[in-house]
Structure 1
Amino acid sequence: MKYQAIAALAPLALLLSACTTVQPAYKDTGTRMSPCVEGGPDTVAQKFYDLRTGQPTQGLPNAQLLAKYRPYLSDKLYQTLLKASGENGRDPALMQGDIFSSLPAGPDSASVADASTIPNTDARNIPLRVSLSRSGSKPVEWQDEVLMVREGTCWTVDDIRYTSQAPHLDGGSLSQRLLK
């Protein structure tokens, strides 16, 4: 009798365990063969901007600088930048000014919004606001948006949307501008 009760409850237990299994929104987040930076999307984005403000540059990055940025950049953005920096007849607008921000002088400080306010922890991409500023005789503050994507277990910068009043590069975002 005892064995009959257990045998009768076994299918019910299997059915209930199937109901409580949680599946992530995305099972496969892809792979990434290159090195990456540890941390969540906001941490990686902040580290990228800390590198940019600590070592500011103008125009398209050369191969040496791209190698330094590689752990922070998505495969797609890295390849697009690599192609754009190697092309003959480069766009003069991409040779001057900071291509990673809306303003040509670029920021000297940046603060990335906290990603903990993003409700979906299974997200593959997350846009984050970045508060940027440039000190000087006329201090300037503006915001841009950085699109972070998950590649394997890494978060990387996939695009930068120029959201200030009058961005110095047209196209709306870094990727769109590079593809022109």
Structure 2
Amino acid sequence: MRRLALLALLLAWAAATPARADGAMQAAANAFYNVYGALPRRGSLPDATGRMRYAAVLSPRLNRMLNEAQAAQVRFDAKVKGAAPPLIEGDIFTSMFEGATGWQVGDCTGDAKTARCPVTLTHTPPAHAAAGQKPAQWHDILVLIRTDTGWKVDDVVYDAGLAFGNTGTLSGMLKMVVAQAPA
């Protein structure tokens, strides 16, 4: 009876303890940044080609939200006929408006369904930038979910606290865009 109680206690403790990544979570996060790094920074929602490239590394929910936000942007553009700026300006996948030029995925933690991966990001100004601009470094968090095809990015938590950067989450920003130009 004691052994059974001890076993039950150990199982309960293991279930309550966040799981360390087995490598698959971190590989999924790095796959996302491989796509991110290969695409030009447009300073807004990804175009159709970009969304196709991201589709393999994003969750179905986040892919759907990107498509809905793009459709909302098209509706908004048709309504204002160029008299207003886009609903989103700046990089949507990081806290910093200019986006990241480098990243390092930290240790992911989670369970069998969801994971969080802290990421250290950097932005190095281009050589032709104004004198005195220094590299910036900040932290964001990728939220992953396990799908039938493996781990996928389901959200980005903008964790930098920058004065002029994104705050909240990527999914929250995309919901705001859709609310600005409903179908």
Indicate the RMSD between aligned Cα atoms, in angstroms.
Answer: 2.2
> Which structure 2 residues correspond to residues 74-113 of structure 1 after superposition, within 5 A?
74-87=59-72, 88-89=75-76, 92-94=86-88, 96-113=89-106
Q: Where does structure 1 lack aligned partners over 5 or more consecutive residues?
A: 1-18, 26-38
- Whether the aligned pair in 1 keeps the contact of 2:39 and 2:50 (CA below 8 Å) is no
1:64 maps to what in 2?
49
* Cα deviation code 1:110-132 (max 9, x no counterpart): 111123xx3x6x52000110100
Larger Rg: 1
Amino acid at match of 1:86: A
TM-score by length of 1: 0.70
- Whether the aligned pair in 2 keeps the contact of 1:46 and 1:110 (CA below 8 Å) is no
**For 2:65 and 2:161, how far apart are their aligned partners in 1?**
26
Amino acid at match of 2:150: C
**For 1:169 and 1:176, how far apart are their aligned partners in 2?**
11
- Whether the aligned pair in 2 keeps the contact of 1:103 and 1:168 (CA below 8 Å) is yes
1:148 aligns with 2:132: no
- Whether the aligned pair in 1 keeps the contact of 2:118 and 2:141 (CA below 8 Å) is yes
Q: Where does structure 2 lack aligned partners over 5 or more consecutive residues?
A: 1-7, 16-22, 78-84, 126-132, 177-183
1:178 aligns with 2:167: no
1:41 aligns with 2:38: no
TM-score by length of 2: 0.69
- Whether the aligned pair in 1 keeps the contact of 2:35 and 2:53 (CA below 8 Å) is no
The Cα shift of 1:153 comes to: 4.2
Report how many residues are paired: 139
- Whether the aligned pair in 2 keeps the contact of 1:111 and 1:130 (CA below 8 Å) is yes
- Whether the aligned pair in 2 keeps the contact of 1:108 and 1:133 (CA below 8 Å) is yes
**For 1:143 and 1:160, how far apart are their aligned partners in 2?**
11
Runs of at least 4 residues off by over 3 Å: none
Amino acid at match of 2:117: L
The Cα shift of 1:55 comes to: 2.2
**For 1:41 and 1:85, how far apart are their aligned partners in 2?**
28
**For 1:139 and 1:93, how far apart are their aligned partners in 2?**
27
Identical positions, percent: 31
Amino acid at match of 1:139: P
